Structure 1
Amino acid sequence: MEFTWRATIERELSAGNVKLDVLEYSATPMESALSGFHQTLNRPERWRQLAVHVAGGIATLESGALQYLRGELEMQAVSASGSGGGLGGFLRGAVTAAATGEGMYKTGFKGSGTLYTEPTRLHLLLGELRGESLIVDDGAFVACVGDITVGRHVNQGFAQMVGSGEGRVQPKLTGTGLFALQSPVPPEEFQILEMQNETLKVDGNLVIAYTDGLQFTVERSARGLLGSGKTGEGFVQAFRGTGRVWLAPTLPLHAGPVRVSG
Structure 2
Amino acid sequence: MEFTWTASTERELDAQGSKLQVLEYSAAPMESPVNGYHQPLSRPGRWRQLAVHVTGQPGSAVLEPGALQYLRGDLDIQAVNAGGGSGLGGFLRGAVTAAATGEGLYKTAYKGSGILYTEPTRLHLLLGELRGESLIVDDGAFVACVGDVQVGRHINHGFAQAVGSGEGRVQPKLTGSGLFALKSPVPPEEFQVLELNNETLKVDGNLVVAYTDGLEFKVERSARGLLGSGKTGEGFVQAYRGTGRVWLAPTLPLHLS
TM-score (norm 1): 0.87
Contact in 2 for aligned 1:211/1:244 (Cα 8 Å): yes
Residue 103 of structure 1: how far off its partner (Å): 4.5
Counterpart among 219, 229, 232 of residue 228 in structure 2: 232
Which residue number in structure 1 is paired with residue 180 of structure 2? 179
**AA of the residue aligned to 1:77:** A
Which residue number in structure 2 is paired with residue 143 of structure 1? 144
Q: How well do the aligned residues superpose, as a CA RMSD in angstroms? A: 1.8
**AA of the residue aligned to 2:204:** D
**AA of the residue aligned to 1:30:** M
Which residue number in structure 2 is paired with residue 204 of structure 1? 205
SS in 2 for 1:188: helix
Partner Cα distance (1:149, 1:59) in 2: 9
User: Counterparts in 2 of 1:1-262, with a 5 A limit?
Assistant: 1-55=1-55, 56-80=58-82, 100-221=101-222, 223=223, 227-228=224-225, 230-232=226-228, 234-256=235-257
SS in 2 for 1:153: strand
Partner Cα distance (1:255, 1:103) in 2: 31
Residue 18 of structure 1: how far off its partner (Å): 1.1
Work out the percentage of aligned pairs sharing the same amino acid. 78
Partner Cα distance (2:16, 2:182) in 1: 20
Partner Cα distance (1:192, 1:16) in 2: 21
Residue 17 of structure 1: how far off its partner (Å): 1.8
Residue 101 of structure 1: how far off its partner (Å): 3.0
Contact in 2 for aligned 1:203/1:231 (Cα 8 Å): no
**Where in structure 1 are there 5+ consecutive unaligned residues?**
82-96, 257-262
Deviations 1:120-144 (A, max 9, x none): 0000000000100000000100000
Partner Cα distance (1:212, 1:35) in 2: 61
Which residue number in structure 2 is paired with residue 90 of structure 1? none
Contact in 2 for aligned 1:5/1:25 (Cα 8 Å): yes
Partner Cα distance (1:104, 1:242) in 2: 30
Contact in 1 for aligned 2:26/2:46 (Cα 8 Å): yes
SS in 2 for 1:152: strand
Runs ≥4 in structure 1, deviation > 6 angstroms? none
Partner Cα distance (1:16, 1:251) in 2: 32
Contact in 2 for aligned 1:218/1:238 (Cα 8 Å): yes
Contact in 1 for aligned 2:18/2:54 (Cα 8 Å): yes
Contact in 1 for aligned 2:59/2:113 (Cα 8 Å): yes
SS in 2 for 1:252: helix
Partner Cα distance (1:108, 1:205) in 2: 30
**Where in structure 2 are there 5+ consecutive unaligned residues?**
84-97, 230-234
